[in-house]
Amino acid sequence: MSTHHLRASAAIAAGLLLAVAGSSNAQLPNASPAATGLSGAYIARARGYDAVAWNPANLGLPGNPAFSLGMFALSGTSGLDPISLNDFAPYSDKVLPASKREEWLQKVTSNGGEDGTMDGGVTELAMSFGRLAFQVGTSMGASTKLTPDAFEAMMFGNVGRTGVLRTLSLGGSTARVGAFSTGALSYGLGIGDSKTSHMALGVTAKYVVGHFVAMAQDAGSQVGTSAITLNMPSVYSRPDSSANVGSGVGVDLGFAYTAQKLSFGAAVQNVMNSFAWDQSKLYANKGTGLFDASHDTTDFGDQPYASAPAALRQMVTDDKFKPVVAAGLAYAVNSITTFSADARSQIGDGIVVGPKNQVGGGLEFRGIPILPLRVGASYLTGGWGVSGGVGLKILGYELGIGAALRTVNGGKQPAITVNAINIR
């Protein structure tokens, strides 16, 4: 059976899947447009409630605000690589030429597959009172990967590329999605002051609640010469299950130092974190089907979680928050210009908290006091990024926006952060 005529519907379905795929940017969502505009170079600069997500030790330094309040800060990023949504856009209402599909397939093959990323977060409430601060935020993210054969089937069917019927294996394609909320309380304590320098330590205690999770891993689906065989088992929490399908506690530690124009900060997030999904509230699905010229058969019913393949259950067990080590500095070039730089790395595999490795730097210019401007650049796992942002400061209120564009394995990943209420 030729699947050439399925190409359009398959492309639409795959495009929708990839459009909502990605990885969670952080356990606590970023509530700072300034941090986004500076390409994440914020470990040494975060003050007030921002210190909860970045470095709690900054709460113990001089210059930390006596009070700060933030509400309804939104952040998110998404993208496809190596073939991005920008690549698809010119052909939204046109026939995609075979030469272009072949070019894309070669890129996907070289990359080992087509990856999709998306994450989003909202900080419902964040507040600080001197050395004490807290933040409550919700994050959602997902990830998916299409193997080169799966991408070829999406682009050509099983005969369109060569004109000869052949079997395409989709085994190895994956998808996962999850959402959780975190409540965090931070405290910073000064430990060494002199006339020219100050040091502080900080700690953050977190409680995490998982709202939903779903994971799927293809176990041998095929687009064959006479039939399509689907075999993609999955595990998931039911939409009608309890809002709490996972929980745990975690601890972050931070250090901060400032001397005249120079500031330095270091933090270890998730020094310990006990978060785990509650497997008693999860279900399994065989995800099997056979589609040929004579009949279709499927099995997508709920099954006990224990019936899921061992590899898939291990993915759930391994879905934990791993330590992230970060360090950064800030230097006041003059009274209106500050340079900052950060480096961070996640240790081990688990719930991904942004790029696994990232080095970034940024510059903030306050020549117009009510209109601070920020620019930044970064090197990260698989690529690089540029960023920018602006704030509107009136008395103690600032309305800010920060945006970034990352290029990862040739694909584009835009990101944005905005805040509705920011008082300090």
Domain range annotation of the chain: 4-321
Q: Is the pLDDT of residue 234 over 50?
A: yes
* 126-146 pLDDT, tens digit each: 999 999 999 999 999 888 999
SS (H, E, C) the chain: CCCHHHHHHHHHHHHHHHHCCCCCCCCCCCCCHHHHHCCCCCCCCCCHHHHHHHCHHHHHCCCCCCEEEEECEEEEEEEEECCCHHHHHHHCCCCCCHHHHHHHHHHHHHHCCEEEEEEEEEEEEEEEECCEEEEEEEEEEEEEEECHHHHHHHHHCCCCCCCCCCCEECCCCEEEEEEEEEEEEEEEEEEEECCCEEEEEEEEEEEEEEEEEEEEECCCCEECCCEEEEECCEEEECCCCCCCCEEEEEEEEEEEEEECCEEEEEEEEEEEECCEECHHHEEEECCEEEEECCCEEEECCEEEHHHCCHHHHHHHHHCCCCCEEEEEEEEEEECCEEEEEEEEEECCCCCCCCCCEEEEEEEEECCCCCCCEEEEEEEECCEEEEEEEEEEEECCEEEEEEEEEEEECCEEEEEEEECCEEEC
Considering only residues 165 and 201, tell me which one the structure prediction assigns the higher pLDDT. 201
Per-residue confidence (pLDDT) for residue 3, from 0 to 100: 40
Read off the pLDDT band of 11 (50, 70, 90).
Answer: very low
* Tens digit of each residue's pLDDT (9 = 90 or more) over 316-328: 999 999 999 999 9
Average pLDDT over residues 348-362: 83
pLDDT per position as a tens digit, 90-120: 888 888 898 999 999 999 999 899 998 888 9
Q: What's the whole-model pTM score?
A: 0.87
Give the pLDDT confidence score for residue 409 in this predicted structure.
78
Least confident piece of the model among 28-32, 334-338, 340-344:
28-32
Query: pLDDT band at 307, cuts 50/70/90?
Result: very high
At residue 14, the pLDDT reads 38
Please tell me which residue, 282 or 87, carries the higher pLDDT value. 282
pLDDT number for residue 352: 65
Tens digit of each residue's pLDDT (9 = 90 or more) over 393-414:
998 899 999 999 998 877 788 9
Tell me what the pLDDT averaged over the chain comes to. 89
> Range with the lowest mean pLDDT among 159-163, 269-273, 337-341?
159-163
Range 260-277 average pLDDT: 96
Mean pLDDT of 366-380: 96
Please check the confidence at residue 16 and state whether its pLDDT lies above 50.
no
State residue 88's pLDDT score. 85
pLDDT over 70 at 17, yes or no = no
How confident is residue 22, by pLDDT bands cut at 50, 70 and 90? very low
Is residue 185's pLDDT more than 80? yes
